[in-house]
Amino acid sequence: MKDAKSFKIGKQLVMEAYKRVKANQGSAGIDDVTILDFEQKLGDNLYKIWNRMSSGSYVPPPVKLVEIPKSDGGKRPLGIPTVADRVAQMVVVMTIDPMIAPHFHENSYAYQEKKSALDAVAKARDRVSVLHWVVDLDIKGFFDNIDHELLIKAMEKHIKCPWSMMYIKRWLTVPYQLQDGTLVERSKGVPQGSVIGPILSNLFLHYVFDKWIAKEQPRVPFERYADDIICHCASHKQAAFLKSIIKKRLADCKLELSEAKTKIVYCKKNHRELEHNIIQFDFLGYTFKPRRAIDLHGEVFLNFSPAISKKARTKIWETIRKWNSGVWVQMTLEDIAKQINPIIQGWINYYGKFNIKVLKNVLARVNMKLARWVRYKFKGFRKHKVRAIHRLGDIALTKPDLFAHWSWGVKPTASLRNRNKIAVDRIRRAV
């Protein structure tokens, strides 16, 4: 006789949830069990999750707290659930997503099947060419300050699955566990790093911001990706008014607008000169600012457009810097390509969408790193930087598709010319 279960949860759903968790990777939680460890007894582990969730007895363990350094010197708390708990959360996400996703606003782009961050950037680019003022919003500690009572109220409008609601409420109050084992109780917020967090935070801002602004200011277009929000206005006066009412709205919903980081930006164009000291903003890894461009008739004009941000450039360069040329000496160029091509292609796919010349200059540093491999690999090049780069250029001519950025047009000789004036002078003297 089969055990009676309180809730009907398919075993195939649990298996599919695991596959998605595995694809997303991620580190171990408080139990130190990695995805590889979890797979050693995959059948037993998935059965335990299914059995406990189906019977209503699943209780999530504490979340491992890791603090990630922020660019402003602060720290961002990141909650890492165990692998098993991530699978359980994914089961619920896959169950509730069809109930929630169809209701999101058209200007909301995060965590939706047919939308992406690049779609949001493209839409913002189109709108700044028409509406020349932007309110760049920053919500102070958004994920950590989501009010549970308001969030549950929003969930109850859409989630008609009793067991999903029950488990979400349990996850909302799961404590953080510090390195020394101390438990930190939580009464608000959604842990960044959780599987359930994105859809819950998105639903929260759907009611706090999207539906509210659509009702109160229907003529104000906006793009929102999670808590990254920009609004477009026709004048500075309208932008200042909008900022003030958004500040009040957030306060009513127990959130705080960061005065230091929220900006009113003038999207400076050739045809209109105004005195305003803030003429750029960052959005989803891109910096929007005035840039010189050439029209179809060869005339130079000022265009307000996006390109990879300084912060994103710095992260890319940090990654390149960490690539170990010493270890590479033992590898062939083909092996190196296999190792780094997926990373380079990811940069190209995302940051190469707009103003590709800027990204090409950024990726020139990959060639400098590869030139170092040439110098380490072959004794005759160790004291000759320029010759090493020319040697790399010869290889690029014979194997132009070996590296992702080479086939994209960032060849070694071009990268050297663009690096800086000193490098250019060196080449001229060598020739």
345 to each of 100, 175, 337, 341, how far by Cα in Å?
Answer: 33, 39, 11, 6
Selection from 344, 336, 329 nearest residue 376 by Cα: 329
38-70 pLDDT, tens digit per residue, is 999 999 999 999 999 999 999 999 999 988 877
CA distance 358 to 255: 37
From start to end of 156-266, where are the E strands?
A: 176-177, 183-184, 222-225, 228-233, 263-266
Mean pLDDT of the chain: 89
Q: Are 328 and 375 in contact (CB under 8 A)?
A: no
- pLDDT value at residue 420: 43
CA distance 424 to 421: 5
pLDDT digits (tens, 9 = 90+) for 101-117: 999 999 999 988 889 99
Which has more confidence, 101 or 426? 101
- The pTM assigned to this predicted structure is 0.88
Rounded Cα distance, 138 and 256, in Å: 9
Q: Residue type for 270, please?
A: N
Question: Are the C-beta atoms of 193 and 117 separated by less than 8 Å?
Answer: no
At 168-190, the pLDDT tens digits run 999 999 999 998 889 999 999 99
| pLDDT single digits (tens) 141-164 | 999 999 999 999 999 999 999 999
Closest CA to 174 of 74, 30, 51: 30
Model confidence at 4, pLDDT cuts 50, 70, 90, reads low
Distance of CA 98 to the CA centre of its chain: 23
Better pLDDT: 222 or 290: 222
- Are the beta carbons of 396 and 412 closer than 8 angstroms? yes
Residue 430: the pLDDT is 40
pLDDT of residue 389 exceeding 60: yes
Specify the higher pLDDT residue, 291 or 385. 291
The three-class DSSP label of residue 313 is helix
Task: Return the DSSP state at 207.
Answer: I
Helices (H) and strands (E) in the chain, counts: 18, 11
pLDDT tens profile 253-267: 999 999 999 999 999
Q: Which of 423, 333, 361 is nearest to 386 (CA)?
A: 423
Cβ atoms within 10 A of the Cβ of 118, count? 17
Give residue 75's pLDDT.
Answer: 78
- For 55, the 3-state DSSP assignment is helix
Whether residue 422 has pLDDT greater than 60: no
